[in-house]
Structure 1
Amino acid sequence: MRALMVRGGWEGHEPVACTELFRDLLTDNGFEVTTSETLDVYTDRELLAATDLIIQCWTGGRFTAEQEKGLVARVRDGAGFAGWHGGILATGYDASSYQFMIGGRFLCHPGGFVDHTVDITGDHPIVAGLDSFAVHTEQYYCHVDPSLDVLATTTFAGHPDEPGTAGVVMPVVWVRRFGAGRVFVSTLGHSPADLLVPQTRTLTGRGLLWAAGH
């Protein structure tokens, strides 16, 4: 099996360091891992056709029509697509097919880094055995598709920056089927430190493997 890590964009999210955290997991599960630091890889039909899992960590990206078409078509045809935080949710804002595929988009994180709780909401294998857990990181407020299979949520307390968000229950982790493909999205993962929180690391790793059909 082949995994493709597509990483770049805003360096504040440390795309190389974050994706490298999961290289051993992938190789240990039989993946040959290729990396790309250009979105033009999505126009390489031969490479995409041989790819089983695409992991994207690219905050602030803008897709050309050809890039978007290549990526979306490959996932619809059966590749897994997975990512976390801004690398998947704060990119491609003007790419409607991409937005439809992932099922959400980042809007804001009131208060910046705040203490909040991630509540596990289902019995999906990605979150099996995990209990709700506390984090200190950005609490993503997103617009999300109502058809998502939500695996974890967070409840906003209503920070002074945006008091109207008080009581809002927002998806944190979700999956969805897209044609023959599988999509995994997590809002957690601002930095390597966030991804090393044990529960976050576990569910993210499982999410990557699930997207690939494991």
Structure 2
Amino acid sequence: MSHARRQALIVRDGREGDSSALTTNLFRPFLVRHGFEVLVEDCLEVYEDEKLLAQTDLVVQCWQAGDITPGESASLRAAVQGGTGLVGWHSGLVDAFPEDFDYQLLVGGRFRLDPSGGGRHRVRLAAERADHPVVTGLCDFDTDVERYWPLHDPLIDVLATITFDGDDSRPGASTVPAVWTRTWGRGRVFASTLRCRPNGTGMTHERALIERGLLWASR
């Protein structure tokens, strides 16, 4: 008896020299190994294909340039509402389409500023969510990817945080979400503010979180 394979749709911008293709390609073998047929599109118009999205179990978005149309945005939100999962990381999801407030609500947050510069810092997993499938069995880790301060919906489920030290403007340390999930109707969304470098070198923790997020969010 045969079983239908799940379908994943990778939506990435096609700018020459951009890292979106290299980065998303890191996860294509993982998706195939877990029973997905993978379709790749380099245009946002695919979001208006309601029939395709209804048949799609997981959308993986890595889009860092250009605007989304109201129709594309509405169709994506409707698909997630109906059960299609949405996953992305860093600017490909969390900083995409800054003029679209409805899209930002769907994702659960967006980059606002990077007051920290570079430097190594700690990513702390939320102890109270240690039983969540995305983080169970994992531990806190250090990373040198840049920190971003996201504006976020208080209804997201925060799985990991980063901390900004106080400075001349802010007298105390501030802790903000770095990895979160949320539900949207019957759909699930996974978002990470952490960059995943195309070569994957030294990014085992960041990559593990994304891989778990892919499986968790899928229909």
TM norm structure 2 = 0.90
Note if 1:153 corresponds to 2:158.
Answer: no
Map of 2:133 onto structure 1? 125
Larger radius of gyration: 2
Residues 119 and 210 from structure 1, CA distance in 2 versus in 1: closer, same or farther, beyond 3 angstroms? same
Map of 1:202 onto structure 2? 208
Shift of 1:166: 4.7
CA contact 2:116–2:164 (8 Å) conserved in 1: no
Q: State the AA in 1 paired with 2:145.
A: T
Q: Distance in 1 between matches of 2:16 and 2:45?
A: 19
Q: State the AA in 2 paired with 1:184.
A: F
Q: Distance in 2 between matches of 1:202 and 1:60?
A: 26
Percent same amino acid at aligned positions? 42
Map of 2:195 onto structure 1? 189
CA contact 1:76–1:178 (8 Å) conserved in 2: yes
TM norm structure 1 = 0.92
Q: Distance in 2 between matches of 1:146 and 1:9?
A: 33
Structure 1: which 5+ runs fail to align? none
Structure 2: which 5+ runs fail to align? 1-5
Residues 166 and 24 from structure 1, CA distance in 2 versus in 1: closer, same or farther, beyond 3 angstroms? farther
SS of equivalent residue, structure 1 residue 176: strand
Map of 2:26 onto structure 1? 21
Q: State the AA in 2 paired with 1:72.
A: R
Q: Which runs of structure 2 are paired with 1:129-144 in the superposition (5 Å)? A: 129-144=137-152
Map Cα deviations across residues 41-73 of structure 1 (whole Å, 9 max, x no partner).
101112111111000000133110111011111
CA contact 1:18–1:195 (8 Å) conserved in 2: no
Q: Distance in 2 between matches of 1:104 and 1:70?
A: 19
Q: Distance in 1 between matches of 2:15 and 2:173?
A: 31
SS of equivalent residue, structure 1 residue 164: coil
CA contact 2:58–2:84 (8 Å) conserved in 1: yes
Q: Distance in 2 between matches of 1:112 and 1:21?
A: 27
CA RMSD after TM alignment: 2.0
Q: State the AA in 2 paired with 1:134.
A: D
